[in-house]
Structure 1
């Protein structure tokens, strides 16, 4: 992921100290036949780094926007859906499912041999309880679930919807973590951090410390018990420390930039890598004045001007080692969904180079005038906005610093504010920011509906000061909301029927631009092939290999084994 470069001796010493700590931590959590920092030949401890900058704050609540883990590894879904594959649900807690003809009833068959890690039996009542949480706590209902769940017996659940809900299927089946009723009935799911999580997954929480926490294999798992017995997640200072850990062989799996990212196998003996382009990078904006957002970025003309002022070709070269790819302002993933972009969109793919004239037209048309210092102003307010970025995320820091220079040429002042991941996350979810650099991730299946439902629906947001769902922009448009609801009622193979609603959403979000498209990020992961085998590959992309992708992480851990 992203990080600050080091140029002075003090920072170099901190990096050296961090690497020494990695070795100590890995040795301290060794399996019976090897350590995370040693050579191959039986190593059962894997050291992972997500790009976490700053101490971990314990939170294993799978519904919480500030969770640090638990989803899929500890708490499981009904099915696993590989967004990089066919999108067909693969059995987990569920074994089979079927829709009625009109899409108002989804029946799921569950496993009958599953126990929670405290020994209690898993039943259909746990599934019903979990989905009732979403109904009763809309701030946690990021999937927009509006059904009714009923257990017909211990191994069958029927989900009923007032209207056809085909598109809710992948979210219900593959994107909701099931929690135990017997423990959760007495907690507040909006505030409890679940320090001692109990799940059904392949891993359990081991030891937690602010600098690192461990998962251990669930030896009573209903499926094949993982060959990886311990996974240790580290908190370091950012990408530079992560890259140094790969170079020294003390980190076994990370997702983030390293020098010579296009030649990992040659540069880092014993490692391999894979780049997947699915996360759509954007400048998130607190856009909605009616919900309490404040700042120049609440003006759509400012957001569009920023979009036009970005030189994406330069940005890709300087910040992302040319691993990023094109992005559509509609947030339709162009690699496999391009046919869903509305024909009314004049610029279906964002321009590679800056268009300062277009930026000026947007601003001046909205009453902004350039001042003597070359920066636009309106009503005595200077067009100056602050972008939030996590300390240590070198690629994102380079990106926003580069954009600051690019936007200055268009008369826009961009200031950069660095903070810990925890502070950055709180600012976004509370709406206490102007801009933030992040990515809009793909949803439960390869379809833009899930991006729209997760990030643009009114149900996924909240007033400033209250914790939002994924819609941290606070964007709200009744026509977009109605179109999202309409898409839920249609089968995903009804191309002709769905397109008018996609047209409505895409036209609105390109005009309003609550999330300013940057590039589709090349998510590159590096891993040790000297110590472990079974990793995804271009020929067998059975999961997206980003270590921070909760569902995929669990799928990969179950496939890995010590290298022979």
Structure 2
């Protein structure tokens, strides 16, 4: 089989690389300064530190700093070398070859080879909630030699070259895992990687310490000596720590109501671009096994009772956009803008419930539900409070339930002990990877977090998603996703609330933390403190 010439070559020179990675760089600018400890704040402590068999959201800010991927991406989602230095794709999209970086060492001193890539991709396909879909068409992955890997697909996977970042498809050490079950292996919480930082310690409930890798393949990077990742759930404490200089940078932990005041602080600055690799959304997910919520008119009534524009203005304070379907409008190549909408209409919501045979009792209550908001930034709790008030107007009595992250995940995805939940998801870089998992009936797998928690099943939707996953024609693929979006809006297994913009608050001395599509989830090799 002949291969195309779409071979992407390695770096040209150190100067070229710096120009590519540092917007606005000129030779008049000062060179990166070596040294210092970056204090990075994350609001939600993840259950693991490597996204090999888990897709815990906050872990993306740690994973790639220790454990790398084959590729990384610029702000336009164009792939760039990381552990792979060059790659080719066959004309029919069924074969990929990756030339691997030579001379790379794992943090324990062992050599990185093609065997590590083979093991990692096979494990992602078998055990990762998103990897099951991403690598569903991966028929074989073979080490041709220690630094050349060949992937053969049973069907095309048009999203594959965008799915190989560290935060999505980490490459782990085969010799570390051996024959143990990857789902329970201790490397998930004390990782050994090839990245610019070496895992030092994790004190649960407090912090993770990462130290500079002195043998990193991309010398003289990293520039920092150390990263301390601090976990602070309380937003007021987070703001106080930032203002006191105890935190250098925070993502998603600062109340939106404090942003304007923080802008007046001469030491702090705001970065409010979304991360193109994640495309976060907030949504209400219904448990379709619930006796009330299994009825589409009931879900439609709830949709009509919730004012998305009010949420955008008063809770998200103008950040983000109302979400009227399953695909974020930030994903411009896939999003359909003119989908049918459930207009805010309390009278219509009440009429739908009356017609569904759910009258009010003497207290004005039709039925009761429990809402489980995702533990995390205050926007979840405030939105949940609003939903409780909004549904009271149509006779649905809502109880809010608070819990820690681990309990929430177990309740929703393992025990299925919930009525409906307000959660955050990543649409990611392609709907097959970030969206399909939420609606594909084959991804209803109790015990697997951040999958089809609704227990939604529609054969037509399955057909559309599976066809789009292998369609290489851009226009036809869009048409498949367009039809999918219209069906989801009609069936309403979930209700979109908003796209997510989590402003990054940072000390002005912190430089080069947003150099690619992964944003703050990058490997941090470029970060340095301005003198």
Please indicate, yes or no, whether the TM-score normalized by the shorter chain is above 0.5: yes
Structure 1: distance between partners of 2:118 and 2:362: 63
1:170 corresponds to: 162
Q: Which of 86-95 and 229-238 deviates more?
A: 229-238
Q: Which of 415-424 and 160-169 deviates more?
A: 160-169
Structure 1: distance between partners of 2:517 and 2:475: 30
1:306 corresponds to: 302
2:214 alignment partner, one of 213, 219, 230: 219
Work out whether residues 391 and 420 of structure 1, in 8 Å CA contact, stay in contact via their aligned partners in 2.
Answer: yes
Cα pair distance change 1:332/1:242, threshold 3 Å: same
Query: How do residues 130-529 of structure 1 correspond to structure 2 at under 5 angstroms?
Result: 130-137=120-127, 141-146=131-136, 147=138, 148-172=140-164, 175-194=168-187, 195-210=189-204, 211-224=206-219, 225-256=221-252, 257-258=254-255, 260-263=257-260, 266-277=263-274, 278-287=279-288, 289=289, 294=290, 296-329=292-325, 331-337=326-332, 340-341=335-336, 345-347=339-341, 351=343, 354-376=344-366, 382=367, 384-390=368-374, 393-430=377-414, 431-443=416-428, 445=429, 447-463=430-446, 466-491=447-472, 494-529=473-508
**For residues 366-424 of structure 1, what are the alpha-carbon distances to aligned partners after superposition, in whole Å with 9 as ceiling and x for unaligned?**
43333333332xxxxx2x22122355632221111112111211222222111112222
Work out whether residues 44 and 58 of structure 2, in 8 Å CA contact, stay in contact via their aligned partners in 1.
Answer: no
Cα pair distance change 1:52/1:503, threshold 3 Å: closer
Work out whether residues 280 and 427 of structure 2, in 8 Å CA contact, stay in contact via their aligned partners in 1.
Answer: yes
Query: How do residues 55-70 of structure 1 correspond to structure 2 at under 5 angstroms?
Result: 60=50, 62-66=52-56, 69=59, 70=62
1:544 deviates by 5.0
Q: Normalising to structure 1: TM-score of the pair?
A: 0.79
**For residues 91-111 of structure 1, what are the alpha-carbon distances to aligned partners after superposition, in whole Å with 9 as ceiling and x for unaligned?**
111112222111111222211
Q: Normalising to structure 2: TM-score of the pair?
A: 0.83
1:262 deviates by 4.6
Structure 1: distance between partners of 2:375 and 2:129: 28
Q: Secondary structure at the match of 1:206?
A: strand
2:68 alignment partner, one of 76, 79, 100: 76
Name the Cα RMSD after superposition: 2.7
Q: Secondary structure at the match of 1:370?
A: coil
1:342 deviates by 7.7
**For residues 277-322 of structure 1, what are the alpha-carbon distances to aligned partners after superposition, in whole Å with 9 as ceiling and x for unaligned?**
53211112333x3xxxx45333333333222211223223332222
Is the aligned partner of 1:534 residue 2:512? yes
1:15 corresponds to: none
Structure 1: distance between partners of 2:347 and 2:434: 30
Cα pair distance change 1:46/1:282, threshold 3 Å: same
1:561 deviates by 0.6
Work out whether residues 386 and 435 of structure 1, in 8 Å CA contact, stay in contact via their aligned partners in 2.
Answer: yes
1:74 deviates by 1.6
Query: How do residues 95-110 of structure 1 correspond to structure 2 at under 5 angstroms?
Result: 95-110=85-100
Work out whether residues 318 and 399 of structure 1, in 8 Å CA contact, stay in contact via their aligned partners in 2.
Answer: no
Structure 2: distance between partners of 1:500 and 1:296: 33
Structure 1: distance between partners of 2:222 and 2:130: 30
Structure 1: distance between partners of 2:111 and 2:259: 48
Cα pair distance change 1:130/1:336, threshold 3 Å: closer
Cα pair distance change 1:424/1:74, threshold 3 Å: same
Cα pair distance change 1:192/1:513, threshold 3 Å: farther
Structure 2: distance between partners of 1:136 and 1:323: 37
Q: Unmatched 5+ residue regions in structure 2?
A: 1-32
Q: Secondary structure at the match of 2:332?
A: helix
Structure 2: distance between partners of 1:429 and 1:366: 29
**For residues 233-273 of structure 1, what are the alpha-carbon distances to aligned partners after superposition, in whole Å with 9 as ceiling and x for unaligned?**
22224222112212222111111334654535643221111
1:129 alignment partner, one of 97, 102, 119: 119
Cα pair distance change 1:473/1:102, threshold 3 Å: same
Q: Secondary structure at the match of 1:115?
A: coil
Aligned residues: 485
Work out whether residues 88 and 97 of structure 2, in 8 Å CA contact, stay in contact via their aligned partners in 1.
Answer: yes
1:563 corresponds to: 530
